[in-house]
Amino acid sequence: MLKKILIGVGVVAVLLLAAYFYMDYRNYSLSPKGEANLKNGELEVSVSYCRPSVRDRVVFGTVEEEALQPYGTYWRLGANEATEVTFNQDVLLVDQEVSAGTYRMYAIPGEQYFELRLNSELGQWGYFEAKEELDVATVMAPVVSAGPTEQFTIKLEPLYDSGVKMVFLWADVKWEVPVITQ
C-alpha cells in the first residue's frame, strides 16, 4: 500500500515539474529575453527585459479599443519578469538624480507621453504592479511615431561623451530617455 502511495506521489511530482518547465519555456518562446548593454566613457548601463510581439494586436490605445496596454495603466516594459536596469555610477535620468545600482523599470503609457519610473523592488515575475512608495525616479518621455516594430525593443545609444540614450520601440511608437553622469 505504501509503495503505491509513493509511486502516485512520484508521478504527480514529475507531472508538475514537467508542466512548470513547459510553461516557463512557452512564455520565453512567446516573449524571449532581451538585453541591452552599453559603456560610454565611464558610464555603464545594462537592461534586462523580455520582448513581447505585436502579433496583429492593438498595443497602445484605449480600453474601448481593447488595447493590449491601455493608456494610463501600469506596464512592466516587456513580459514575464520585470524589466531591470543597472547603472554603475550615479546618474541623472532626465533631471532626476539616481544612485548607482539596479532598479525595476516600468512605464505608464499615454497618447503624448510615457511616464517612465525606476523602482527599488527587484526580482518580480508576472504582472505585479510596483509599490509606488518604492519609486526612486519618475520622468516623462514624449512619444513619437515610428516605423512598425514587431517585437518590443530597448536600445542603448551613446549620448555625448559619457551619457546613454535609452530608446524604447514597439508597435508604431518610440520614446527616448537620456541618462547622463552627475
The pLDDT value given to residue 27: 45
Closest-CA residue to 151 (of 168, 137, 166): 168
pLDDT one-digit tens code per residue, 74-94: 998 988 889 999 999 999 999
Contact predicate 181/161, CB 8 Å: no
Low-confidence ranges of the chain (pLDDT < 50): 26-27
State whether the Cα torsion 96-101-106-112 is positive or negative: positive
- For the chain, domain boundaries: 1-30, 31-181
Distance of alpha carbon 48 from alpha carbon 104, whole angstroms: 10
Cell numbers given for 30? 512567446
